[in-house]
Amino acid sequence: MRAHDPERRLGAAELGTGLGRRATLVQFSTAFCQPCRATRRTLSDVAGMVEGVAHIEIDAEERLELVRELDIRRTPTVLVLDSAGRVVTRASGAPRKADVIAALGRAV
């Protein structure tokens, strides 16, 4: 996972729902993306393990304006947001659970 623009913030207006109290895992997916399914399971598991962390999945095809704004080039792409909605880390492809937990450590 790589760092991203520390000034960029996302909130309920962009995401369609509120942020997690401590951090938010934002997943950009498409309907027929096989790695997106595995990513959904991984992020849901981590969000369930870590108190105050939310997992939000966004259909990239339905949110093209946001996809372009954030320069999402493939699915799955995962953004890790801190409690203020700042993008602290982003990664493309199916992440390993250990990598997601490590990225959360930078967000909380």
| Interval 55-106: pLDDT, tens | 999 999 999 999 999 999 999 999 999 999 999 999 999 999 999 999 999 8
The reported pLDDT for the residue numbered 106 is 86
What tokens appear for 69 in the block?
A: 């704004």
CB 27 within 8 A of CB 88: no
Classify burial at 85, counting beta carbons within 10 Å of its beta carbon; exposed 0-12, middle 13-18, buried 19 or more.
buried
Q: Is 16 left (phi over 0), alpha (psi -120 to 50) or beta?
A: left
Sequence-ordered strand ranges (E) for 1-108 = 23-29, 53-59, 77-82, 87-92
And the tokens for 95?
Answer: 């992440």
Q: Look over the chain and give the mean of its residue pLDDT values, rounded to a whole number.
A: 92
Bigger pLDDT: 92 vs 3? 92
Ramachandran angles phi, psi of 91, nearest 5°: -150, 150
Average pLDDT over residues 14-38: 96
Percent of the chain with pLDDT over 90: 88
| 25 within 8 A of 78, measured Cβ to Cβ | yes
What does the pLDDT read at residue 108?
84
pLDDT reading at 40 higher than 70: yes
